[in-house]
Chains A and B, each alone.
Chain A
Amino acid sequence: MILEVLKTNHSHDVLVVGAGLSGLRVAIELTDQYDVAVLTKVHPLRSHSVAAQGGINASLNPEDSWESHAFDTVKGSDYLADQDVVEVMTKEASRAVIENEQWGTAFSRTEDGRIAQRPFGGAAYPRTCYAADKTGHNLLHTTFEQALRKGVNFYQEWFVTSLVKSEKRVCGVTAFEIASGEIHGFTAKAVVLATGGFGRVYGHSTNALINTGDGAAMALRAGVPLKDMEFVQFHPTTLVPSSILITEGARGEGGYLVNKEYKRFMDAYASKDMELAPRDIVARAIQTEINEGRGFDDYYVHLDLRHLGKTKILERLPGIREISMFFADVDPIEEPIPVRPGQHYSMGGIHCDKDGVTPLSGLFAVGETACMSVHGANRLGGNSLLETLVFGRLVGQKVGEYVSGSGDVDECTVDDAAFAMREKIQSILLRESGESHAEIKEELGRIMDNEVGVFRDQATLESALKAIRFLRERYENIALPRCDTKFNYSLIRALELENLLCLAEVITMTALMRRESRGAHWRLDYGTRDDENFLKHSLVTLVDDYLKTEYIDVDLGQFEVMERKY
């Protein structure tokens, strides 16, 4: 149901920000018992969950086990994942997959009609359930159908601009109605941030253009810490030139990586797992081949699927074929696909526990925007869709408990915040000339790609940090001439850029601080893992005007910390 809007202040028990899989699953959990509204800047079906291709992990087979899935996840995380959170996710995995099947998702099937599972990187068992190579699409459409069935309330095409808090707790948000350009205040007992990742900090990213980390940036500005922000996943195989994702499933089905000498090179990097080593390892291998002059045109390698044959490609990887044909003019049945590593996933995010509870009372986080931390220093393929559905449900339950025991919040604070936000936006719109947000964004992408990428070192990170801070200064003077308020997408992109800039600074700062190599964070000047000093989560908190940094312990438990080899 779409809520009709006649006034500029609104009140609900719970506000969920974001309508991808995480946000929808939270709303579904709560909607029977509470007054819940979902605020989303795009129609729910346009959320980035729709783009997930390869699958969702669960130890459905009796020969497999949650312990094995948990071990693979912890090892894949380079031991930085909190093992109590991993336990919850892997134990709940089958339930989440079965629930979605019962809601109607058309999973691919084995000959005897069970949910089909394929091998994925870093996994000891083929436990990745899939719907061809369109798993996210299938899960999102099904979950949205169930949200409609439940009568979940939506504010569609609303851009949330700030979190509002009193001294002790969150009391709502301010948001911008894209259609009218008006700022409204929303009062709520609890706010759940489910705004996804922030891949668009980078120029080369598989992420949708809307993935700008709005939730994480708002949380930071509200004084909530961000955790492990230096851990950015670079997917090994993104399409040249558009950086659209080419699923790990393509290698799971048997695809080869080949350099310009027409040689499969993965044996030099992961002789046992080859192309199916975890993403951080394969991304570094490809980048090394390119850096050492063995890439095609010096910037990409080939993903060769031809030996899989036409039938298998059409049946298991139809979406990949379509993407290759439309966006690179290559038919993988006949030619190899040109690929290179590109930003793909944000392991870091809003600091919270396994129930999504953040240090700010009433504020919860879930999905890619959260850092519980279940992926540590490197996420395994098939674990992100899983995270959204498992923790969407559990965080929803926790929010319900919180709301039941919580009193009303102060509406005046929200009205004041909405007034302040109107003033801020007016001042941008009234500026007649100044910097172009598009130019600043392009420059930011270039800096992050080149200086905060797959390989990092102190000198380049320092230069990046300086450049990002300079861009932040330039941002203070942006102008949007000739715009009015209705459907002002330039203004939205400018506001998103403010979020990207502050997250870029945090990513680069924490990358500088971590003087070791772990998972996706690889320092050329500190090339080994240093458990003595850095088996810890980084935390960054905005205090007054400066960013406070600290380290906190990792939850270790079941699995002993070991060397990570594939």
Chain B
Amino acid sequence: MLFRVARSHKGKEITHYDLYKVDARKGMTVLDALFQIQDYMDESLAFRYSCRGAVCGSCAMLADKVPILACRTQVSSLKEVSSKLKPFTALTDTPLGWNAETEILLEPLPNLPILKDLVIDMTRFYDALESLKLWAEPAKGEESRIQSPAERKKIERYVDCIMCALCFGSCPVNAEKEEYLGPAALTKAWRFYEDSRVQDPKTYLESANVPAGSPLCDLIYNCVKVCPKGVAPGGAIRKMKEL
């Protein structure tokens, strides 16, 4: 199996693509293939990883122009995937020489600056957690609070978010507007707003409704399509906008 991998030695932009031939075995994931390349062909290739089980959110990237987690995507499944995403430049511009039939194309997740090869600078993505104060004020007292299963159910899909940034990297608004806080942060604000235990839920809504927040969302729902955990950020933002 041939892999065409984006390279950026100094960061900022993709300077060229390198082509590697990997022995594909049954069940091989994109992350397995990247390790094969790094271990046995090209030690200089840089990419992030940790859990290899789709829970840590380290390895978001583009494979054949589709935003994926490298660790849970089987190499054999890639050519069957059609993402049905609303396009923007990073998802449509293809490198010269790429043969889409025979080669798997790996590129860094768009919408955040490239640091090296497939490693991106996630500072802006993480900063929103602090600027929006996406945490709970601790409850007081000796006991845990009561929350019914139905109340918990309301926030379940939102607490499942692993902060992998696939939503951020697939959002056409993030591609255009650097200031946009992005789907994950807004959804986390909604998670606190909807939590029956939170004392002052409105504050989360107010911070999500700042000009760089929910007003910028165009309800395109690329985020819903790429989310590996079924969080459906676009649904949360829609509810937020409807209030």
Contacts and interface: CB of A to CB of B under 8 A. Distances in A.
Chain B, interface size category, equals 35 or more
B27 A43 contact: no
A144 to B, nearest CB: 9
A178 to B, nearest CB: 9
B135 A145 contact: yes
Interface string B15-36: 0000000000001000000000
B85 interface: no
Interface string B34-47: 00001110111011
A242 interface: yes
A541 B148 CA distance: 52
Interface in A306-356: 319, 322-323, 326-327
Interface string A146-172: 101100000000000000000000000
A403 interface: no
A465 interface: no
B136 interface: yes
B90 interface: no
Given A43-B122, A45-B57, A137-B55, A489 B135 contact: no
Among A113, A141, A149, the one with the most B-chain Cβ atoms within 10 Å of its Cβ is A113
Contact of A45 (B42, B48, B56, B198): B56
Interface residues of A, number: 64
B79 interface: no
A104 interface: yes
Interface in A21-47: 42-43, 45-47
A395 B11 CA distance: 41
A487 B56 contact: no
Given A138-B159, A489-B38, A104 B56 contact: no
Nearest to A322: B54
A242 B148 contact: no
Given A115-B144, A148-B129, A490-B38, A106 B53 contact: no
Interface of B: 9, 27, 38-40, 42-44, 46-58, 72, 115-117, 119, 122-123, 126, 129-130, 133-136, 138-149, 151-152, 155-156, 159-160, 162-163, 192, 195, 197-198
Closest 8 CB pairs of A and B: A438-B39, A104-B136, A145-B135, A113-B146, A490-B43, A487-B46, A102-B139, A101-B144
12 contacts: A2-B123, A98-B142, A102-B141, A104-B135, A111-B149, A115-B144, A146-B135, A149-B133, A179-B115, A210-B50, A488-B46, A490-B43
Given A48-B50, A208-B50, A323-B53, 9 more contacts: A50-B51, A51-B56, A102-B145, A104-B135, A108-B149, A109-B147, A137-B162, A145-B136, A244-B52
